[in-house]
Structures are given as structure tokens and as C-alpha cells.
Chain A
Amino acid sequence: MQWTDQQQVEFLTRFYNEIIAAAADLLKQQDVEILTTKPDPNELSYFSQRAQSSMKPEELELDLEDIDWVKNALAQIADGPESEILADVYGRIIDLAARFEEIDDAEDVSPYIYVMF
């Protein structure tokens, strides 16, 4: 799909409000804490144990070219009581990918914020 920058911004803003912010509201209503953001003096350690300590050969195989496979894999990543909401958001975002033309190049590394997204 070809669209102008302004159309893209409007579309993504609407998507954000209708899907992401709405899902966030639902999670808040359910008292789901998505990220821990504060130290806890009662914790003895902040380490998380890895579910699997080493990589199995099959874990190296992903099929990112198959949208259904991607959605299914993401639905499995979404765990906990909020999994349904998360899986729905993931699926809707992945569906957007088809509307975005392939970009040739990544943006320059930002001088202001660590590139993490």
C-alpha cells in the first residue's frame, strides 16, 4: 500500500488508540503488571532463571515469512492470565505488516536514545 507520511501517522495513531491503548486499559482493569518498574527491598535477588538454559537445534528455526506461523508462535509466547489479550494485540499488529512495504534501510543510530525498539 502506498500512503503519505501523514496518512501513515493518522492510521498508526488510530491503531494505537483503538488497539494498543484499549488493550492496556483492559490489562489495567485486571490489575496485570506488565513490567516491574521499581526495586523491591523484599527481594533477595533480581535474577530470573532462564526457562531453557541452552539452545536446542529446533529453537533456531523460525518461519517469519509465514504470517500464520508468526501469529501462532507469538500466541505461545503470550503467557499468563493476560495471554488472550496479548495474543489478540500481537495478531493485529502482525496483520499490519502486510500493509507496510519493505523498507530498504534502517535509520541512523540515534544520539539521544539507545536503539531498543
Chain B
Amino acid sequence: MSIDVLGISCYYHDSAATLVRDGEIIAAVQEERFTRRKHDPGFPDNAINYCLEEGEIDPNELSAVVFYDNPLQTFDRIVKSLLHAAPNGVDQWLKAAPTWLGLKLKVQQTIHERLDPDVKVLFSDHHMSHAASAFYPSPYSDAAVITMDGVGEWATTAVGAGHGESLEIFDEIRFPHSLGLLYSAFTYYTGFRVNSGEYKLMGLAAYGEPEYESLIRDHLIDIKDDGSYRLNMDYFGFLDSNMMISQKFEDLLGGPAREPESRISRRDMNLASSIQVVLEDVVLKLARRARKQTGLPNLVLAGGVALNCVANGKILSEGIFDNVWIQPAAGDAGGALGAALVASHTYFDVPRQVETRGRDGQKGSYLGPAYSNREVKAFLDYREYPYSQVSDDERAATVASAIADGKIIGYMVGRMEYGPRSLGARSILGDARNVDTQSIMNLKIKFRESFRPFAPSVLEAYCEEYFGLKTDSPYMLLVAPVNEDRWIVSDTVIPDDGDMLPLINRPRSDIPAVTHVDYSARIQTVSPAEKPDYYAVIKEFEKLTGYGLIVNTSFNVRGEPIVASPEDAYRCFMRTGIDMLVLENCILIKNEQPEFPEDVDWKDTYAVD
């Protein structure tokens, strides 16, 4: 009889569910993909239903349901924070009490009510869940483990090691001192949304100079040689208000936070650069210490800070570890997977199977729902949307040819990705060689800020031809430089008025659409083993053009969760400047489609992220 463990994360950010059977990941998906509510923190009913369906199992057959966090430890932190802040914490109490007492503390009851009254409910530990999500699916028998996030229970950063089935966390940094919260404070201060805009801050950092670095080090954070750190809470608001920063923070850095959606100034770029430099310093010090402490050549990472792929790339380029593996669902969604794995290996003693063929156990992170051709055709026929049906080979050739002609493609084939990155199952594709691709994709497809770079999907075997990266990066979590012989060197100075556009639109290499202002790229390597259909598209493109890479960005518009179903994909296709839509083996051309009238302006549907 198999051991089937359902992992759940919810009530904070990005709720999700995962099904693990005898230690193998069967299914994993975020709730937002079904509810179309970005970062949906609600109980993941839809995600659970999908996981059970994929595993062909009923709730009463589950060995256990595991929640990713220990609510009692979190409760302890919240009450102590309130006691610390008193008498100034009444607003936080009024906000926290109803949801804590009416929802979060009742999670076990909710699981029993919604799944099965007799199912065993277990609880993991937040950072242990992150650590497990990084270690168990990794391709290593032994590895050092670092987890970093905003906060989970009391910990904000944890360091440990995994050996076979055993996983330990040795030590941690505790709330309120948090690298994630420090970065989020700057996310807020530079006018982006906390909890989602952190990667924009990372992208913006490349445009600036770290002129605030010493102010940050002198006043906001004290960093020890071992990478441990402590914040000066005088500058932060999150302990005694519903704001990330205090007035003192604004006074120190010379003014109020940037208004969301207002023009980004050179100062904002410099702030972004400064906090990125500080974050990288901490991450590198933590990595050096973990290497020394464990003596292991492999490192695994998880927690929201591990989505900072620039810092991840630095760990590799500094040669601190021989190998680095990062959980693609590094944020709270990944906690569902980690919780299920903790219970599988710790509670049920399931032996761990390490992949021995050089791959990992994450299955390319293609762990979400897929739609068969029959389902796609039924949808298209019912709606009378014109399409043509092609073979797998024809699909690859057609898509590659369209990309080479400068067309933008919405591509939905196979199981959906688990984690925030699109990896060729729910992607928008374009030509990396085309100097206009970045601005077309940003402004006519994604409707997002023009400074944000796009990522390349490159055939695994061709990676070193383009980038200074000597390892696989299947999850788009490593940044590395474009090879210097491909650079088109130009002036990178931003004018005094802070107008970035002339700089953004200047080609910086022969693959301008994926070359960031600092000549870096956020790379996804594609192998035929994990995603043969996507590999075939890029391979065909390479045959046509000599370039073994294309642009890959998530299939959504700004503020929208990544598309999940054919209906989501068609809607996004019709609302944007996408030229061609691929739904499994069905191909749709924009100018052949009927009118797509909508009662409301869809741009009002999603809060900009």
C-alpha cells in the first residue's frame, strides 16, 4: 500500500497543494491558477481537488494531510510582537485577531470539514518545509541547506544540512530580523507592491549605482562575518504598524516612498542597486559559512529570497559550492511540497530515492494540470473559434517559423508549471534576436513596466555558446552574463532626468531581447528529457536561424495569475497583441478569430502588481 501525503500551504501568500506518493511528487499547483486571484492565500480547495484527481485518490485514502507551518509557534510570535508593540499595536491586533481566531487557528478543523473528518492531519515547521522542498527533490544525496524568507514562525533565515532521508536545521536568525523583510521594505519604498514586486526591484537594480549602500549598512542592518545579521527596528514599521517602514527610514533615505506607477527616478534605481548589493553580501556570507560548517560541495536553497536569481548566480560564480539547486517554488507555495516531503520521510519513513541520471526529482516542475487535445478541441469547437490541428513535428516547425518572422506566440502545451516561473508549458514566446521584442512584449502584450528584462530559453547544449554559465538552469533561477563576444557595448549612463527608455531600447548584444542593461540574462536551459515539445520548438528555431534560444515570458498580463486552462489562454490571447496561440496540437491565428467583446475593461480586473 502506498504512502500518499497531501501537503497544504495557505493563509499567507500563494496557497498551494501537493500530492507526494511514496516520496515521489505526483502533483503540485498554486490555488491562484484556478481562482484567478493573484497570490491567492485562501484555503486551496481547487488545488487539492486537482492533486487528488491527478493521483486518482479520495481524501479518505490519504495517509495524511500536512500543513506547512506550525500555527502555535506563529501564534507565539504574533502575541509577543503585540506585547512588544503595546500600546501601539492595536491596529495590528484588530486586523490580525479575526483572521487568526476565525481562520488560521482553525486550519485542522477546516481540513477535516473540507476533506474527510477522519483524515490524519500533521503539521510541519515553516523553514523545515522550505528546507525539505529544496533538499529532497534535489539531485544530491548530501547537501548544505539555506532557507531565507520574510518570516515563518520565528525564523527568517535557517542553515542546515541533508543526508539521505535525514534533514537538520542547525541554526537560524529570528524575527524581526529578516533579510526578506528588509528587501520588502525597499520594495515598498521604491513604489512596488510588497509580496510580489520584489523581483522588479531586483531587475531595476542593474540600472543603478549602490550609492545608498553605506547608509543601509551603517543604520539599517548590521552584518556579521558569518552572514548573520540584525536590523535596527527604529527604521521599520512592521512591528508596531501596518507599514513596512517608519518615518525614520524615510528621513534617512531622503524622502517619502515613490508613489506606485509614478515615474521611476535615478534615485529609485540607486536604491534598488544598493539593497541588492547588501542582500548579495549577506547571501554570499551565509553560503561561505554553510560550506565551511557542513564541508559539503552541494547547496540547496528555498524561501522567497531564493527567487533572487541574481544573488543565486553570484553564489555559483563565486565558486563557493560546486553545485547549487534551488526549489523552483521557493516561496510559500513550495511549503506545501516541503511539508508533504517532511511527513513522507520523517513521519512515514519512506526511503528517499535520489535521481541518479543527473536530473532531479522535481520533474522539470511540470506538476500541474494538463489538457488533452480532445478537451482543447471540445472547447474550441463549442466556442466556434477557428483553428488548425497539427502533428507534434508540425507544431514545432510552425511555432519556430512564426517566431523567426517576429511573431509573438502564446504557448500552452503539457502540464502547468509549479512555481512562479513559466518554463515552456504556459509561456509567451518571441525572437531573442529582434531588437523590438522587449518593448513589444512589455507594452503590447504584458502591459508592464518597460525596464523589465525577458528571459531566454536556451537549448541545454548551447548554453555556453551564449552565456557564462557552466551548469544547467532548468528553472530560470540563475542569472549569468551574456558572453562578452556577443556584446554591443554602448553608453550605459542614465540621463539626469532618469529617463530609462533610450537606454532600454538600445541593443546590447546580438540577442538584445534577453540581454539586461548589465549584460546579464536570467537563463532557462531546456533539455529534451523534461520538455520534449518545447525543446523541439527551440531546435527548429535553431535550424532556421542558427540561434538555439528564444524569449520566454509567463503567459499572463500584468497582475494576472499565469493562465491555467484553454479558456484562460484564449482570453489572454485575445486581450493582447499575441499573434498566434498554441493549445496542445491546435493552432489559432489572431486575425482569423471572431470579435472578442467584453462588458468591462479587463485592465480593471487585475490589480497591477
Contacts and interface: CB of A to CB of B under 8 A. Distances in A.
Nearest to B38: A109
Contacts of A31: none
Contact of A48 (B86, B101, B174): B174
A66 to B, nearest CB: 10
A72 B159 CA distance: 30
Interface in B146-184: 150-151, 158-160, 166-177, 180-181, 184
Candidate in A40, A49, A109 with the most chain B CB atoms within 10 angstroms? A109
A65 B109 contact: yes
A86 B76 CA distance: 9
B72 A70 contact: yes
Main secondary structure of the interface of A (DSSP, over half): loop
Contact of A60 (B103, B122, B172, B196): B122
A47 B172 CA distance: 5
Given A61-B122, A64-B71, A116-B151, A111 B102 contact: no
Contacts of A114: 150-151, 180-181, 184, 194-195, 238, 244
Given A16-B93, A111-B607, A48 B172 contact: yes
Contacts of A43: 224, 230
Contact of A62 (B70, B109, B166, B181): B70
Contacts of B231: 39
Interface string B90-106: 10111111111111011
Nearest to B132: A55
B78 interface: yes
Which bucket holds chain A's interface residue count? Answer: 35 or more
Contact of B195 (A47, A106, A110): A110
Given A55-B342, A57-B347, A62 B84 contact: no
Nearest to B71: A64
Interface stretch (B8-16, B375-383, B453-461): B8-16
B82 A20 contact: yes
B194 A110 contact: yes
Contacts of A17: 87, 90
B146 to A, nearest CB: 12
B222 to A, nearest CB: 3
Given A43-B224, A53-B169, A86-B79, A103 B233 contact: no
Given A38-B233, A47-B228, A90-B79, A62 B243 contact: no
B549 interface: no
A102 to B, nearest CB: 6
B108 A60 contact: no
Interface string A85-110: 01001100110110111110111111
Nearest to A23: B83
B110 A109 contact: no
Contact of A100 (B98, B173, B234): B98
B90 A117 contact: no
Contacts of B224: 43-46
Given A34-B83, A114-B180, A47 B346 contact: no
Nearest to A89: B79
A90 B73 CA distance: 12
A73 B73 CA distance: 10
B90 A13 contact: yes
Interface string B223-244: 0101011111110011100111
Contact of B125 (A35, A37, A49, A55): A55
Given A48-B174, A64-B109, A53 B160 contact: yes
Given A12-B93, A113-B243, A102 B103 contact: yes
B342 A106 contact: no
Nearest to A111: B193
B371 to A, nearest CB: 27
Interface string A8-51: 11001100110011011101000000111111110111111110
Given A48-B174, A112-B188, A101 B102 contact: yes
B112 interface: yes
Contacts of B244: 112-114
A93 B79 contact: yes
Contact of B243 (A16, A49, A109, A112): A112
A90 B75 contact: yes
B232 A102 contact: no
Nearest to B105: A97
A117 B83 contact: no
B66 A46 contact: no
A35 B99 contact: no
Interface in B203-262: 221-222, 224, 226, 228-234, 237-239, 242-244, 260
Given A20-B82, A38-B233, A102-B110, 5 more contacts: A46-B228, A47-B171, A47-B228, A93-B75, A117-B92
Interface of B: 10-13, 15, 37-39, 41-43, 66, 70-73, 75-76, 78-84, 86-87, 89-90, 92-103, 105-110, 112, 122-125, 128, 150-151, 158-160, 166-177, 180-181, 184, 188, 193-197, 221-222, 224, 226, 228-234, 237-239, 242-244, 260, 342-343, 346-347, 607
9 contacts: A12-B97, A23-B86, A53-B170, A54-B167, A70-B72, A100-B102, A102-B102, A109-B41, A111-B197
